[in-house]
Amino acid sequence: MIITAAALLLVSCNSEPTVQKYFVEKAEAKDFVAFDIAPSILKTDKYNLTAEEQSALKSIHNVNVLVFKANKDNTATFEKEADAAKGLLKTDDYESLIKVNTQGFIASINTKGEGNNIEEFVVYAQQPENGFGLIRVSGNNMTPNNVMTIASIIQKSGIKADQFKALEQLMPNKQ
């Protein structure tokens, strides 16, 4: 709640739509689930991290997650909000790194910043029958390699899968 209020004050000076403003506006809206993940959630103290892994962790400040849960009663709202979220990634100085569109599952990874000075990564994932989600990773001097390193650390850190149930439903079913 305090983070939301502080973020609202921070972004209220500029009237242009941004991903950060979208997170703040939708954090407590109907059909949305929002939460923040601190890098400290990774229980890395029991691992002997390499210098590269330590550097990657230090480059990340926070991770914000916003999920819209679709159902048969909110189809029009889902379409409107999904278009708005995707539109922000086209207009808010983001560069698209990867796009996936397979069997109704849509995903993209977008960066803001240049080269080895990436300010944030945003992952967008959508499956119409389940909803869509945005994962915003912000930090200083992040690189694409940092993100891959963080993924590896998360894998071995033992974060419980039930912490991410809202995101799990967006992923395509394995056949």
Mean pLDDT of 81-108: 89
pLDDT in the model for residue 175:
39
Closest to 74 measured CA to CA, from 135, 29, 104, 19: 29
Residue spans per domain, the chain:
30-168
Closest to 81 measured CA to CA, from 34, 121, 146: 34
110 and 122 Cβ atoms separated by less than 8 Å: yes
pLDDT in the model for residue 20:
92
- pLDDT at 62 exceeding the cut of 90: no
- pLDDT at 132 exceeding the cut of 80: yes
